[in-house]
Structure 1
Amino acid sequence: METKQAMSSGWRFWFIVTMLIGTFTMSISQSSLSTAYPTLINYFGISADTVQWLTTGFMIVMCITMPISPWLLNNLSFKTLFISVLVLFDVGTLIILAAPTFWVMLVGRVMEAMAVGVLFPSYQTVLLEITPEEKRGTIMGIAGLVMGSALACGPIISGIVLNYTTWRGLFVFFMVVITLILGVSFLVMRDVMPRIATKLDWLSICYSLGLIGVLYCITEIGKLEANGAVLLIIMLGSLILLTLFVRRQLSISNPLLDLRVMKVFNYDLAVLLTGFSYISLIVVTIIFPLYYQDVLGVTPFISGMALVPGAALLSILNPITGTLADKIGFKPTMLIGMLMIVIGWGLLALLTIHQIWIMIALAMLIEGGNAFVMMPAVTLGANSLPTQLISHGTAVITTVRQVLGSTGVAVATLILVNFTKMGTAAGKSLTAANQAGFHAVYWTFFGVALVGLLIAGLLRNTQDHSK
C-alpha cells in the first residue's frame, strides 16, 4: 500500500482550483453540442438522428467508464491519472478538429467521454478525501457548481461561441483551456490518495457493458421509428449482463465496483435523492428551451439566453448551500431544496404560462432547489461510508445519477411527443397540442419531485464513518 502526499494549505488551494477548472471545462462538453446540431447536420450532410449520437454516444461511454474509476484511483497516482485524463480529452478534441467525416468526429467524442467518465467520480472522491468532515459540505458545494453549472452553461457558452465562430471554434475553446490546465497540472498536482494495487477484473468490465444496452434502449424508446421488439431483446440481454456484474462484484475479494455500499440504507437514499434532483435539472435545461420556442414562439438564441438566470443562481447557491449544510445539517438543507423543486413543478403543472419571465423564474426556483440537494446528498452519502468505500460510493452515485438523468429525459421526450400527437389528433391547434404535451411533462415530474421530497424526509444526518 502506498500512502498519499501531504499538502500545504496554499498548495491545496491551487490543487483544487486546477482540478475544478479542468472538470468544469470537460463537463461543458457534455451538454454543449445541442446548439451546434443544425450546423453539423449541414456540414456533414447527416440526419438529425445521426448527429444526436454526439451526445447520446458521449453519455453512454461516460457511464460505462465511471465504474472503472475506483480501480484507477487505487492503482495509479492521482497526478498520473489526472494528467492522463487531460491528455486523452485533448487528443480526442484534436481528432474532432481534424475530422474529415462525422464518424471520425464521433471517435474523438468517445475519447472525450472516456476522460469525463473517469474524472467525474474521481474528482469528487479526491475532494472528500482531502477535506475535513466539518468542511465537506462547503467544498462539495463548490464541486456542485462544476456539476450543475456546467450542465446548464454548456448550451449558453456554445451559443455564444457559435455566434462568432464555426463549430470548430467550440472545440478550439475546449482544447486551449484543457491544454493550459495540463501545463499547470505538472506543477500543482499531487498524489493525494492511498493506493492498494489490485488486479483489474476484465470479466467484470465485460459484464458492465450491459450498461450500453440499457442506456441505448432508454435513449431510443421515445423515437417514433423505434423497433419495440428489438429494444426489448437488447434490454433483456443487457439486464442479464448487469445481473451477472452485480453477482460478481458481491462474490469476489477485489471487485471492480464494491457494491457493498448499497447495503447502507442512508447511502441508498442519498443515491436516489441526488438522482431525482439531477433529473429535474437536466429536464429543465432540455424541455424549457423547447417550450420557449414551440409555445411562446421565441428564437433559439432567446431560448438559450433564458437559461442564463437559472444557471447563474445555481452557480451562486452551490457554495452557499454547502456551507449551510455544514452549519444546520444536511437533511434540513435537502428538505428546503426538494420543497423548492416540488413548488416549481407544481406551479408549472397548475398554471398555463404565456410570459417567458414567469418561466425563467420557475426555472430559477427548480435549479436553485437542485443546489440545495444534489451535492449535499453526495456528501451525506459519502459520510455514511467507511473511507475505503468512498471511491466506490462516488462511482456508484455518479453512474446512477447519469442513468436516472438519461431516463428522465427519455420519459419527458416520450410524454411530450405522444401527448402532443394525441392533441393534434383530437383537433387541437399545434400550439394547444404542444401546451398539453408540456403540461403532461410537468405533472409527471411534479410526481417525481414529490417522491424525492419523501426520500429527503427519510434521510438521517450521519457522522463521518471514515474514522
Structure 2
Amino acid sequence: MGLTRKQISTVAVLLIGTFVVVLNQTLLSPALASIMRDLSIDAPTVQWVMSIYSLVEAVVIPLSAFLIGRFSTRQLFITGLIIFTAGSLLCAFSPGFIFLLLGRVCQAIAAGVFMPMIFTVLLLIFPREKRGSAMGLVSLVIGFAPAVGPTLSGVLVDSIGWRMLFVVITVVGVLLVLSAVKFLENYGDFERTSFDKLSVLLSTVGLVCLLYGLSTFSSTTNPAMTAGFIVVGLVVIAIFVRRQLKLENPLLKVTVLKTRNYRIAIIVAIINFGVLIGLGTILPLYLQTLRGFSALETGLTLLPGALIGAFVGYFAGRLFDRWGVRKCVVPGVTIFFVGTLGFLLFDMNTDLLVICAIYTVVALGIQFLTTPMNTWGINSLDNSVIQHANAVTNTLNQVSAAFMTALIVSISALGSTIAPNADPTMQLYEGDHLAFVATAVLAAIAFIVVMFFVRDKRKRDTHIAPMSMQQFSPSENTDEIPVSRAMNPEPYFVTSTASIREVAQIMVDNKASGVPIVDHNKMVVGFISDGDIMKYIGRNDGILDSTYMLYQVPDPQTFPQRISKLIDMNVMQIATKNVIAVKSDSSLEDACRLLSEKRIKKVPVVEEGELVGSLSRADVIRGTMANIVTIKAMAEKDDAKKPQLA
C-alpha cells in the first residue's frame, strides 16, 4: 500500500476504532429484552438507549469541523476514545437505567467527534494513488460491523449477560487508547472555524423535547404534558432553522434543501435509515419478548440481512454509474416496500426462517436504494456546498434513527389500548403488529416519492469496467485486413523504471496520448495515458457512502502540489497495469471495435507478449487511407458474392 510500518499501525488503530464505533450502533439490539428484565423497565423506556445514541450524534456531528480545526487529530482521537471508553465502563457497571443512559451519551459524543476525523485522516495517510484502497477498507469495516453486531451480542447476552457487551468494548477501548498514544501522529493542518453556541443549544433542546414527546405518548398519564413537549420541540426546531437561514456561517446550511433532487433524496434517506434502525429495535423485542427466542437466535436472524445488504450496497453505487438512478432505485424501493408487507404476516407461530427471509428482503431493498439515492442527490448540488450537504445528511439520518425508533417502539406499546380486554401476550402481539404496519406505511411513502419524483434527466455514459489483459487473436477470415497493415511499427515506449517527467516529455515531443510500458525484455507490463495523468492531478475528493454515514472530504492538496508530487513519481505508480493489447495479425475490424467500445485512444500491438507496435485511432485512419485501393477491391469482391434478387 506504500505505507511505512508506523503508518500501517496508525491505519489499524483508526480502522479498529471505526469498527467499534459503528458496531455500537447495532450491538444492543438483541440485548434490549434482557435490559428490560434486569432494570425493570418497559419497551418505550428501553428504546432510549438506542435513540439517545443517534440523537447525541446528530447534535455533535455539525461541531466536528470546529473541533478538527481547534485541536490536533491526535488529541481529538485519544480524547474521544477516552470518553468513549469511560462511557462503556459506566454502561457495564450502571446501577440503574439513568446511568446506562449517561454512558450511552458519552459513547455518542465520542462517536460524533471522531468519526468524521477518522475518515479525513485516513485520506491524508494514504498516497493519493492509493486512496481508493482507503475507501475500500473503510467501506468494508462500516459494512461488516453492523452485520456481526447482533450475532456477537446474542452470544454474549445468552452466555454471560448484557453487561459483558460493554465490558468487552471497554477492554478494546483501553487497548485502542494505549495503541493511539504509541502510534498515532498528527495529520493535516485544518482551518480554525467557529460555531454558533445558540444554534447548538436550540438544536439540543428542540430535538430532546420532540424525542421525549414521541417516546412517551403511548404510555403517558399526562397527555397534555406530552403534547406540550412535542409542541415545544417543534417550535424550537423551527426557531433553529430560521436562525440557520439568517447566519452567514450556520451550524447547518439548510438552504441545500432548496435543491429539488437533494430534498427528495433526503426524504427517502431518512425513511430508509429510520426504518432500518427502528426495525433493529422492534424486531428483537418481538422475537424475544413475544416469541421467546434467545438473544443468539435473534442475532442470527438479523445476520443474513445485514451481510447481504452490505454486499448489495457496495455494488449499488457501481450500478448507478452504469444505469442511472431510476433503474436502481425503482427495484430497490419496490423490494423494500414488498418486504415490509411481509411483516404484516407475522403471527404467534411464524417460522424463524420466514422471519429471517423477510427481514433480509427488506434490508436488501434498503441497501440497494440508499447509495444511488444519496449519489443522485449530492450530484445535483454545486461542489461548494457538498460539505454542508454531508453534515445535513448525516445529521438528519441520526435524527431520523432516533425519532423512528422512538415512534415505532411507542406505537408497539399501544397494544393495551387497542385491545384492552385481551391477555398480555395478545396485547404485545397487537402492539408489535401495529408497529410493523407503521414501517409498511413509511415504506409506502418512500415508494410513492421514488416512483413519482425520481427521474434521470439525461442518459448517462456507460460505465467501463476495469480492463483485464486481453489479446485479440487473428481472424480466420483471410479477406480481413490485419492490424499490422495499419499499426505504427516503431512505437514510443518507456521502461517500468521511468519517471512521469520522462513520460510527459515523450507525450509532448511526439503529441502522443499514451505510451506503452515495457520491462527489460520489451514485454508489455503497463500503459500510461494522458487520462491517467489527468486523473491524478485533477481534484479528487474522498467519498464514503453507506447506509450508516455519508462523507465527502475535499482534496487536501492544491493543484500545484499535486503536479509537483506527480512529476518525479515512478510511472508504474499511476499506470494501468491490466492492459488490453492486440496481436499484429488480428483483424483491424476487431481492433476498431475495441477502440470504440472501450473508449480508448491507443493500444499496444504484441507478438507473444512482446511489444512490436502500437495502434491508435489516427493510425487506423492513416492505414485505411494508405490501403484504400486494396479495400475497394475487397469491397467489390464482397459485392459480387451477394445473391442477386430476382
TM class, shorter-length? 0.7 to 0.9
2:20 aligned with 1:25 = yes
TM-score, with structure 1 as normaliser: 0.80
Q: How far did residue 65 of structure 1 move?
A: 1.7
CA distance in 1, matches of 2:312, 2:221: 40
Q: Indicate the RMSD between aligned Cα atoms, in angstroms.
A: 4.2
- Corresponding position of 2:354: 358
1:253-292 correspondence runs (5 A): 253-292=248-287
Of 401-410 and 180-189, more deviation after overlay is shown by: 180-189
Write out per-residue CA displacement over residues 19-63 of structure 1, whole angstroms, 9 at most, x where no aligned residue.
443223123223333544565566667676655543343333232
Q: How far did residue 341 of structure 1 move?
A: 0.8
Write out per-residue CA displacement over residues 120-166 of structure 1, whole angstroms, 9 at most, x where no aligned residue.
55556778999999999997787566556544543332221223334
- Corresponding position of 2:369: 373
Which of 289, 306, 309 aligns to 2:304? It is: 309
2:389 aligned with 1:393 = yes
Do the aligned partners of 1:121 and 1:398 also contact (CA within 8 Å) in 2? no
Q: How far did residue 388 of structure 1 move?
A: 5.0
TM-score, with structure 2 as normaliser: 0.60
Do the aligned partners of 1:200 and 1:256 also contact (CA within 8 Å) in 2? yes
- Corresponding position of 2:447: 450
Name the SS for the 1:306 alignment partner: helix
Do the aligned partners of 1:421 and 1:433 also contact (CA within 8 Å) in 2? no
Q: How far did residue 367 of structure 1 move?
A: 0.7
Do the aligned partners of 1:125 and 1:391 also contact (CA within 8 Å) in 2? no
1:157-306 correspondence runs (5 A): 157-185=152-180, 187=183, 191-192=187-188, 195-209=190-204, 210-221=206-217, 223-225=218-220, 227-293=222-288, 298-306=293-301
CA distance in 2, matches of 1:328, 1:185: 43
CA pair 43-340 structure 1, distance change in 2 beyond 3 A: closer
Of 158-167 and 122-131, more deviation after overlay is shown by: 122-131
CA distance in 1, matches of 2:280, 2:423: 30
Name the SS for the 2:454 alignment partner: helix
CA pair 135-400 structure 1, distance change in 2 beyond 3 A: farther
Q: How far did residue 364 of structure 1 move?
A: 0.9
Q: Which one has a larger percent strand, Structure 1 or Structure 2?
A: 2
CA distance in 2, matches of 1:292, 1:401: 26
Do the aligned partners of 1:415 and 1:440 also contact (CA within 8 Å) in 2? no
Write out per-residue CA displacement over residues 97-120 of structure 1, whole angstroms, 9 at most, x where no aligned residue.
455555444433221121123345
2:50 aligned with 1:55 = yes
- Corresponding position of 1:403: 399
CA pair 312-287 structure 1, distance change in 2 beyond 3 A: same
Name the SS for the 1:117 alignment partner: helix
- Corresponding position of 2:333: 338
Which of 70, 74, 83 aligns to 2:65? It is: 70
Write out per-residue CA displacement over residues 349-398 of structure 1, whole angstroms, 9 at most, x where no aligned residue.
47878332222112111111222233444444444445554443222112
Q: Which letter maps to 2:50?
A: T
CA pair 117-158 structure 1, distance change in 2 beyond 3 A: same
Name the SS for the 1:257 alignment partner: coil
CA distance in 1, matches of 2:290, 2:412: 13
Pairs aligned (count): 459
CA distance in 2, matches of 1:334, 1:124: 27
CA distance in 2, matches of 1:135, 1:36: 40
CA distance in 1, matches of 2:9, 2:315: 21
CA pair 103-339 structure 1, distance change in 2 beyond 3 A: closer
Q: Which letter maps to 1:453?
A: V
Write out per-residue CA displacement over residues 234-276 of structure 1, whole angstroms, 9 at most, x where no aligned residue.
2222223222222222222222222232233222222222212
CA pair 52-354 structure 1, distance change in 2 beyond 3 A: closer
CA pair 258-19 structure 1, distance change in 2 beyond 3 A: farther
CA distance in 2, matches of 1:36, 1:138: 35
Gaps of 5+ in 1: 1-6
Do the aligned partners of 1:273 and 1:456 also contact (CA within 8 Å) in 2? no
Of 29-38 and 271-280, more deviation after overlay is shown by: 29-38
CA distance in 2, matches of 1:417, 1:61: 24
CA distance in 1, matches of 2:110, 2:247: 27
CA pair 318-76 structure 1, distance change in 2 beyond 3 A: farther
CA pair 321-182 structure 1, distance change in 2 beyond 3 A: farther
Of 120-129 and 85-94, more deviation after overlay is shown by: 120-129
Return the structure number with greater relative CO, CA threshold 8 A, min gap 6: 1
Larger radius of gyration: 2
1:414-425 correspondence runs (5 A): 414-418=410-414, 421-423=417-419, 425=421
- Corresponding position of 1:3: none
Of 75-84 and 269-278, more deviation after overlay is shown by: 75-84
Gaps of 5+ in 2: 462-539, 542-553, 556-646
CA distance in 2, matches of 1:360, 1:323: 27
CA pair 89-100 structure 1, distance change in 2 beyond 3 A: same
CA distance in 2, matches of 1:101, 1:319: 41
Which of 430, 438, 442 aligns to 2:426? It is: 430
- Corresponding position of 2:560: none
Do the aligned partners of 2:55 and 2:398 also contact (CA within 8 Å) in 1? no
Do the aligned partners of 2:220 and 2:226 also contact (CA within 8 Å) in 1? no
Q: Which one has a larger percent helix, Structure 1 or Structure 2?
A: 1
Q: How far did residue 330 of structure 1 move?
A: 4.9
Do the aligned partners of 1:218 and 1:410 also contact (CA within 8 Å) in 2? yes
Q: How far did residue 89 of structure 1 move?
A: 0.7
